[in-house]
């Protein structure tokens, strides 16, 4: 994952969000940690499309009834 955590520490949430999006894209949309951060910071910054895309990726990757239910939550 190529996320600069220093950006988060310096309250550069927008730059951090871009880094998480890039890292998820490099992992072909399979980076669960990146997706969760994309949802968190996407909501904080009002970047709804980013948050929605990450949520859809999480639901798509979920397997098993419990994990699918959690992903939808």
Could you read off the pLDDT tens digit of each residue along the chain, which spans 73 residues? 556 666 555 568 888 899 999 999 999 999 999 999 999 999 999 999 999 999 999 999 888 888 888 877 7
Question: What is the CB-side half-sphere exposure of residue 68 using CA atoms within 13 A?
Answer: 4
Please state, in angstroms and rounded to a whole number, the distance separating the CA atoms of residues 45 and 65: 31
Instruction: State pTM to two decimals.
Output: 0.77
**34 near 3, Cβ under 8 Å?**
yes
- Taking a C-beta distance cutoff of 8 angstroms, is the pair 46, 17 a contact? no
Q: Domain spans of the chain?
A: 5-72
Structure tokens at 3: 């996320």
Q: pLDDT at position 3, please?
A: 61
């Amino acid at each position: 994952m190529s996320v600069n955590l220093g950006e988060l520490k310096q309250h550069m949430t927008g730059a951090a969000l871009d880094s998480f999006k890039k890292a998820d894209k490099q992992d072909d949309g399979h980076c669960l940690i990146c997706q969760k951060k994309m949802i968190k910071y996407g909501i904080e910054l009002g970047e709804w499309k980013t948050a929605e895309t990450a949520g859809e990726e999480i639901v798509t990757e979920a397997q098993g009834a419990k994990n699918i239910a959690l992903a939808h939550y």
